């Protein structure tokens, strides 16, 4: 197999479920990948063809597409050396740079008039208002409005907005508030007690109710603003995240990381949307642009060996209609592996996983993501397919643990033990992760070095304290650890750089230089490894790679081909030697 060609084709296949429908229900926007990189495409449902596209971006194009409520434009992100900037594409093909400077930017919400929007900037603690008529950008909201959430929701009139903020010194706290559209007339929505975390995700069309959830309930609720109380739907702890009301207001949609989307009627009737094969997916940051005006829901149907395609769920008729099939490469699809659902024994039960068997005996690789849902979707995963196509037996593993908990780490360790015992794996197991999954790779090699024969950590936080001090780092990442001064031992237990002496396995640290808040921690970790006596290089104890022009997320297929060729080559070398299950004397020195 020509690996470079296969990887280019594989990473040109669509993976994102970020399909968004225009307010009139006639155009679907989505992120497209190809040889030239990535672009935003608008598919006309009336013409059954691409209507227009953005330019190709060689690298940096991210997910999180959002339609303007009036349908004039689609917003999206492109990451440069400073972080994500906001762009807009019109149905006529015009592209506008909305916000671009030396900071990170994320869209908070769009005013229903389409005349202005709110966004967060890493350069300031207050939300920013961008007015398109005057082209003026100014701070929005009360002067004490710090720690703004990137999730906000205007009501249908645009007169009020839901926003999350924390007015306390407790890092674990997050309260839900309603402001008028000018940031005044503050009202707290008492979903939870102070010290918990509450979220608001959508308004009822009549404006008298809002969809909510919390870290304690972990399910969807409707908060009645007149009665000042919440009615919860489903079982507590079901992890059904509310997305929004259907246009009629008679039902709302929820998502879960593995179960198919669930639709609740306001009287409590529950509809689980389940396809004949694979799963239905929906992006959890969606706004109203996942709903058709005819009370239908836009979903993506995905299978473990087939990329997602958009479908329309008609709530009243309870039918699903395919919208269009994205053109895909037959050559790449011929190499794809269907995964089997498996149960992995852990303390107090099991967790699910997806198992990609190899036709030939050889090493295994566990892919870990840091997902605390305890579930895993039967969806298309290009990373799992990349390793499976090159002869590895692959396991995508879930965990029941929240971030930075012993349960999170223990569940991933159980996955490694389970995979090592598969007949064709012969005891040789590597571990791979990206972002928080990469942090978990480091913690696995520290907490359970006897399990793993090699690991790859891609864009992971290797020093929590250094990451915390970076001006562009998101506080939400470490918030669950609490205050570092009063929770010193917990921070140390989860901080790889402070526990280097316990790490014992060949390791590849891979960073995109534009992921500035993480690459600095990786560089410090590398220096500490060298100071601790580790040798660097293909024949050494660890390898370190920084790549110019790459950020935190996936980039152009050509860059992906280079990256995954490097990953596979690393595991080919490092897992070809005797496994730890056969030789307990392994040491990096």
Strands, E assignment, 256-328: 262-265, 270-272, 279-281, 291-292, 296-303, 306-314, 319-322
pLDDT at position 514: 87
**Do residues 209 and 223 make contact, with C-beta atoms less than 8 angstroms apart?**
yes
Low-confidence residues of the chain: pLDDT under 50: 581-586, 589
Which CATH number among 3.40.50.720, 3.40.50.1820, 2.40.30.10, 3.30.450.40 corresponds to the domain 337-574?
Answer: 3.40.50.1820
The residue extents of the domains of the chain are: 20-139, 337-574
In this prediction, residue 372 carries a pLDDT of 60
What φ, ψ does residue 421 adopt, rounded to 5°? -90, -5
Sequence-distant (≥ 6) Cβ neighbours of residue 346 within 8 angstroms: 400, 410, 411, 414
CA distances from 119 to 41, 84, 85, 178 (A): 23, 12, 10, 17
Confirm if 374 and 398 have CB atoms less than 8 A apart: yes
Secondary structure class of 176 (helix, strand, coil): strand
CATH of domain 20-139: 2.120.10.30
The pLDDT assigned to 370 comes to 65
DSSP per-residue string spanning 91-126 = TTS-EEEEE-SSS-EEEEEE-TTSSEEEEEETT-SS
CA distance 68 to 275: 30
Global pTM value: 0.83
Q: List the structure tokens of 328.
A: 């895909």
First-last CA distance in the chain: 36
Helix (H) or strand (E) segment spanning residue 447: helix 436-447
Q: pLDDT value at position 582?
A: 47
pLDDT at 73: 95
| Residue 231, helix vs strand vs coil | strand
The pLDDT mean for the chain works out to: 90
Contacts of 512 (CB under 8 A, 6+ apart): 459, 519, 546, 547, 549, 550, 551, 552, 555
Tell me what pLDDT residue 174 has: 86
Answer positive or negative: Cα dihedral of 463, 502, 442, 485. Answer: negative
Contacts of 562 (CB under 8 A, 6+ apart): 4
Contact assessment for residue 41 and residue 50, using Cβ atoms and an 8 Å cutoff = yes
pLDDT at 465: 97
Q: Please give the pLDDT value at position 589.
A: 44
Report the distance separating Cα 219 and Cα 280, nearest Å.
Answer: 19
What is the reported pLDDT for 164? 87
């Amino acid at each position: 197999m020509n690996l470079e060609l296969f990887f280019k084709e594989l990473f040109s296949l669509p993976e994102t479920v970020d399909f968004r429908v225009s307010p009139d229900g006639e155009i679907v926007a989505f992120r497209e990948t190809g040889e030239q990189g990535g672009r935003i495409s608008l598919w006309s449902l009336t013409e059954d063809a691409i209507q227009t596209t953005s330019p190709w971006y060689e690298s940096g194009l991210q997910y999180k597409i959002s339609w303007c409520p009036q349908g004039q434009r689609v917003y999206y992100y492109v990451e440069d050396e400073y972080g994500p900037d906001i762009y807009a594409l019109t149905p006529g093909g015009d592209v506008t740079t909305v916000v671009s400077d030396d900071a990170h930017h994320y869209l908070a919400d769009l005013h229903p008039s389409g005349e202005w929007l709110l966004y967060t900037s890493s350069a300031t603690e207050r939300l920013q208002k961008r007015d398109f008529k005057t082209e003026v950008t100014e701070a929005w909201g009360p002067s004490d409005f710090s720690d703004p959430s990137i999730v906000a929701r205007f009501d249908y009139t645009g007169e009020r907005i839901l926003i999350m903020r924390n007015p306390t010194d407790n890092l674990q706290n997050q309260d839900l508030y309603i402001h008028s559209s000018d940031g005044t007339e503050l009202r707290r929505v008492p979903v939870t007690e102070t010290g918990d975390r509450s979220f608001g995700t959508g308004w009822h069309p009549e404006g008298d109710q809002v969809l909510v959830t919390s870290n304690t309930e972990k399910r969807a609720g409707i908060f009645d603003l007149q009665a000042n109380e919440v009615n919860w739907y489903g079982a507590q702890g079901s992890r059904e995240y509310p997305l929004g009301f259907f246009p009629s207001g008679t039902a709302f949609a929820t998502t879960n990381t593995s179960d198919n989307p669930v639709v609740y009627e306001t009287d409590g009737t529950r509809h689980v949307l389940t396809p004949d094969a694979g799963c239905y997916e929906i992006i959890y940051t969606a706004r109203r642009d996942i709903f058709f005006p005819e009370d239908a829901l836009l979903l993506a149907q995905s299978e473990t060996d087939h990329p997602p395609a958009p479908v329309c769920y008609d709530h009243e008729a309870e039918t699903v209609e395919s919208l269009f099939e994205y053109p895909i490469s037959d050559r790449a699809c011929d190499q794809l592996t269907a995964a089997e659902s498996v149960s992995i024994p852990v303390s107090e039960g099991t967790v699910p996983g997806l198992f990609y068997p190899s036709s030939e005996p050889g090493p295994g690789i566990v892919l870990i993501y840091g997902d605390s849902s305890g579930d895993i979707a039967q969806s298309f995963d290009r990373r799992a397919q990349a390793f499976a196509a090159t002869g590895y037996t692959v396991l995508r593993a879930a965990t029941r643990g929240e971030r930075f908990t012993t349960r999170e780490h223990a569940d991933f360790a159980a996955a490694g033990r389970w995979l090592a015992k598969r007949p064709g794996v012969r005891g040789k197991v590597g571990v791979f992760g990206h972002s928080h999954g990469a942090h978990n790779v480091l913690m696995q090699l520290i907490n359970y070095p006897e399990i793993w024969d090699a690991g790859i950590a891609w864009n992971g936080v290797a020093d929590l304290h250094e990451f915390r001090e970076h001006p562009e780092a998101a506080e939400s990442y470490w918030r669950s650890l609490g205050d570092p001064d009063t929770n010193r031992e917990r921070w140390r237990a989860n901080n790889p750089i402070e526990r280097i002496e316990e790490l014992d396995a060949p390791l590849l640290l891979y960073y995109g230089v534009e992921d500035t808040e993480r690459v600095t921690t990786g560089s410090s970790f590398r220096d500490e490894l060298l100071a601790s006596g580790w040798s660097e290089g293909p024949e050494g104890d660890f390898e370190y790679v920084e790549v110019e022009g790459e950020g935190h997320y996936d980039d152009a297929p050509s860059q992906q081909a280079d990256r995954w060729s490097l990953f596979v080559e690393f595991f080919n070398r490092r897992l070809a030697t005797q496994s730890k299950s056969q030789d307990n004397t392994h040491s990096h020195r």
